[in-house]
Amino acid sequence: MPSFLQIENISKSYGTKVLFDGIGFNINEGDKVALIAPNGSGKTSLLRILAGKDSSDSGGKVLFLKDIRIAFLEQEYAYDPQRTVREQILDDARRQWRIEGEAQWEYELRMEQLLTQFGLGGPDKRMDQLSGGEVKRVAIVSMLASEPDFYIMDEPTNHLDLDAIELLENFLKQSRRTLFMVTHDRYFLDRICNTVMELDRGQIYIYRGDYVNFLERRQDRIDQFNAETERVRNLFRRELEWIHATPCARTGKAKYRKQAFERIAERAEGSYIQRKVDLGEMATGETYLGNKVIDCKGVSFSWEGRCYLDSFSYNFQRYERVGIVGGNASGKTTFLDLITGSWRPEWGGEMDGVIERGDSLRIGYYRQKGISFKPGQTVLETVADTHLLGRFLFPHEMLNSPVERLSGGEKRRLYLLTVLMQKPNLLILDEPTNDLDIVTLEILEEYLKDDYKGSLIIVSHDRHFLDRLVDHLLVFTGDGVVKDFIGNYTEYRSFIQDTAVASTKTEGRVEKAVITPKAVRKKRSWKEEREMEALEAEIAALTAEKEALEADLSSGTLAGDALMAASSRYGEITALLDEKETRWLELTLI
């Protein structure tokens, strides 16, 4: 395999903080590499240097194979809010690739196809009318439509809903193009990447294989390093005895031995102690939570002519762990604002029904938009407890740093601290995994799973996070409809995608895999049973046709009218499947 990218001796610092110094590595054609590092270690800085958006402090070399095309997906997509979706994507293409003529026509065909696949059916909609997740979809369509040889992607799953993540995952998994990305999504990483690259203490380490293999081999590296450190320490103690016992001599041999001693002393201080967020103190002193948490009775909410909740009733229970999923702009965050009382009348909207909150309720609400701070506000001014700041990896030298200078992940970590230190008995987390590094996520998971004693409501697109922490799901299906399913996200997707189709082939499989709704079932009528059977057959046929179209659209062999027809039919099938699966699910709840 030819080397697509060769990095030699690049460095980056900000002030006195050295992110990486003199690093180098190669990426070969077809490699799919995930870069992992703690927040603030320089992941985004490294990607920006590779994409030509920033430069190395030490010069060095960033050498791509001649004539390969590179596409860079940044965390924050730069766009013109007055442009339409179509105009924005075409502007991206003209600016990056200077396409025109037949090349532009082919690009527009791919763009239309991808817009349909990613559920962006309104290409004439203005960018400022889109949700954050829809903006991210536009950025991804713009990148994929360019058909580059090399993808550089910084947290590609941030702000995407689960359907879009799975679509992007399948696209990248089937693609033979080279990929280098930063991600915190462990499922996404394992399904796509064949290599994990670690940026640790300014140095690069490469591990071939999946995330579990990375964890095992990384621990082997740390153990070996610490064993070598112990050997050097023993040597250091012997040399120290020699220094104390031997009069200062001016011989060359004595001077050489002193110099060697200094090098040994420096290495002896190098034991590897991985600094991790410590959530231990957060598990103590939780406030009492009574039987009443939040009770929603017939709640409806509309805003700007759109229905987000339609007669929603649900009684959140003490110690319950609820996951909330649904498409972008389906109303998940609006729902959280309503049940917490955060929605302000001046924001508009029409609400009916009743939301009752328990007297003992203490809500900790981690918002998707992140931490609020004043310009120039320091870390210490945000959280005055230096002990807790240290446990959250904010050392003394960072305490007077302005919050705006922190990395995205460091801001998220600081925000998480401000929420947890309130000792909530109902913890609400709206997309908590965005920008947090994997190590911090795993520690947060362990804390919430084993130590946190209150109720938990999580909105997240991170499948691993949901699978480990929630007891059941509230699924926002659109138009104000919310479904309740017992089970985690993987079980829910299996229920949607596999169970209905497989039930026509394997007797009893539905009964085994079904996720039982909390509501008491009533018996379906004969007519409803026949409707379910028909739906199962239709879903199976549509799913098979959709898979065949995906294969054709990904093959690169379709052109002109055939490509347009296949793209249009794919959109029709996607809409039909959504409609029929929704109806099938409604019937299962009877």
| Tens digits of residue pLDDT in 127-153 | 998 988 899 999 999 999 988 999 999
pLDDT of amino acid 253: 47
Q: CA-CA distance, 379 to 414, in Å (whole number)?
A: 8
Residue 7 has pLDDT above 80, yes or no: yes
Q: Is the pLDDT of residue 287 over 90?
A: no
What pLDDT does 563 receive?
A: 74
Model confidence at 76: pLDDT above 70 = yes
Q: What angle do CA 466, 471, 474 make, to 5 degrees?
A: 75
- Tell me how far CA of residue 428 lies from CA of 304, 316, 432, 443, 538, in angstroms: 26, 12, 9, 17, 39
CA-closest candidate to residue 474, choices 464, 462, 463, 488: 488
pLDDT at 239 over 70: no
Per-residue model confidence (pLDDT) at position 128: 92
Decide if pLDDT at 464 tops 60. yes
Q: What's the pLDDT at 345? A: 78
Mean pLDDT within 96-109: 78
Burial environment of residue 395 by CB neighbours within 10 A (0 to 12, 13 to 18, 19 or more): exposed
Predicted confidence at residue 271, as pLDDT, reads 58
What's the confidence (pLDDT) of residue 499?
Answer: 56
pLDDT in tens, 332-384: 999 999 999 999 878 888 999 999 999 999 999 999 988 888 999 999 999 99
Please indicate whether the domains covering 3-214 and 285-486 agree at the CATH topology level: yes
Which residues is 478 bridged to in the sheet? 481
Q: In whole numbers, what is the pLDDT of the chain averaged over residues?
A: 84
| C-alpha to C-alpha distance for 209 and 207, rounded to whole angstroms | 6
CATH superfamily of 3-214: P-loop containing nucleotide triphosphate hydrolases (3.40.50.300)
Output the pLDDT for position 93: 86
With 50 as the cut, is the pLDDT of residue 512 above it? no
**Average pLDDT over every residue of 85-100:** 84
Residue with tokens 């972008």: 328
Total number of residues shown for the chain? 590
Q: Is the pLDDT of residue 522 over 70?
A: no
Structure tokens at 25: 């590595």
Residue 8: is it exposed, middle or buried by C-beta count within 10 angstroms (0-12/13-18/19+)? middle
User: Strand order in 32-36's β-sheet?
Assistant: 70-73, 150-154, 178-182, 32-36, 195-200, 203-208
- Residue 325's pLDDT is what? 93
Q: What is the pLDDT of residue 511?
A: 35
Residue 514 has pLDDT above 80, yes or no: no
Residue 120 pLDDT class (50, 70, 90 cuts) = confident
Sheet strand arrangement including 3-14:
17-28, 3-14, 61-64
Instruction: Characterize the bridge pairing of strands 363-366 and 203-208.
Output: unpaired
Which pLDDT belongs to residue 3? 84
* CA gap 474, 468 in Å, rounded: 16
CATH classification of 285-486, choosing from 3.40.50.300, 3.40.640.10, 3.40.190.10, 1.10.10.10?
3.40.50.300
pLDDT in tens, 151-185: 999 999 998 988 899 999 999 998 989 999 999 99
- Residue 282, pLDDT above cutoff 80: no
DSSP string across 307-367: EEEEEEEEEEPTT-EEEEEE-TTSSHHHHHHHHHT---GGG--EEEEEEEE-TT--EEEE-
Q: Is residue 207 a contact partner of residue 195, using CB atoms and an 8 Å limit?
A: yes
Q: Distance (Å, rounded) from C-alpha 201 to C-alpha 543?
A: 48
Evaluate whether 563 touches 549 at the Cβ level (below 8 Å): no
Closest residue by Cα to residue 165 from 142, 145, 192? 192
DSSP 8-state symbol, 195? E
Mean pLDDT within 210-232: 84
Rounded Cα–Cα distance for residues 130 and 80 (Å): 12
Nearest to 46 by CA among 228, 177, 204, 220: 204
Residue 549 has pLDDT above 90, yes or no: no
Tell which wins on pLDDT, 284 or 462.
Answer: 462
pLDDT exceeds cutoff 80 at 543 = yes
Domain ranges of the chain: 3-214, 215-268, 285-486, 489-588
- 544 pLDDT band, cuts 50/70/90, is confident
One-letter identity of residue 321: R
Rounded CA-CA distance 75/90 in Å is 20
